[in-house]
Amino acid sequence: MTKELLLCFLAGVVLPLALAAVFQELPPPAQPESSSVSTAPQAAADADSQVTLAVKKQDGTSETMPLQDYLVGVVLAEMPAGFEPEALKAQAVVARTYTQKRMEGSKHEEADVCTDPGCCQGFQSPGDYVSAGGTEASVEKVRQAVLETDALVLQYNGRLIDATYFSCSGGTTEDAVAVWGRDVPYLQSVESPGEEEAPRFTDTVRFSPAQFAEKLGLIPSGDPVGWFGAVTYTEGGGVDTMVILGKSFTGTYLRAKLGLRSTAFTVSVEDGAIVITTRGFGHRVGMSQYGAQAMALEGHSFEEILAHYYTGAELTREAYYGN
The confidence band for 318, taking pLDDT boundaries of 50, 70 and 90, is low
Instruction: Give the pLDDT of residue 25.
Output: 38
The confidence band for 24, taking pLDDT boundaries of 50, 70 and 90, is very low
Query: What is the bridge-based pairing of β-strands 228-233 and 239-244?
Result: antiparallel
The confidence band for 106, taking pLDDT boundaries of 50, 70 and 90, is confident
So where are the chain's domains? 3-18+30-165+287-316, 202-279
The model carries a pTM of: 0.83
Per-residue pLDDT for 255 more than 60?
A: yes
Instruction: Give the pLDDT of residue 124.
Output: 96
Burial track 211-249 (b if 16+ CB lie within 10 A, e otherwise): ebbeebebeeeeebeebeeeeeebebbbbbbbebbeeeb
The confidence band for 136, taking pLDDT boundaries of 50, 70 and 90, is very high
Q: Is 77 left (phi over 0), alpha (psi -120 to 50) or beta?
A: alpha
Instruction: Give the pLDDT of residue 58.
Output: 87
Instruction: Give the pLDDT of residue 46.
Output: 83
Instruction: Give the pLDDT of residue 29.
Output: 37
Q: What is the mean pLDDT of the chain?
A: 87
**Rounded average pLDDT over 195-210:** 94
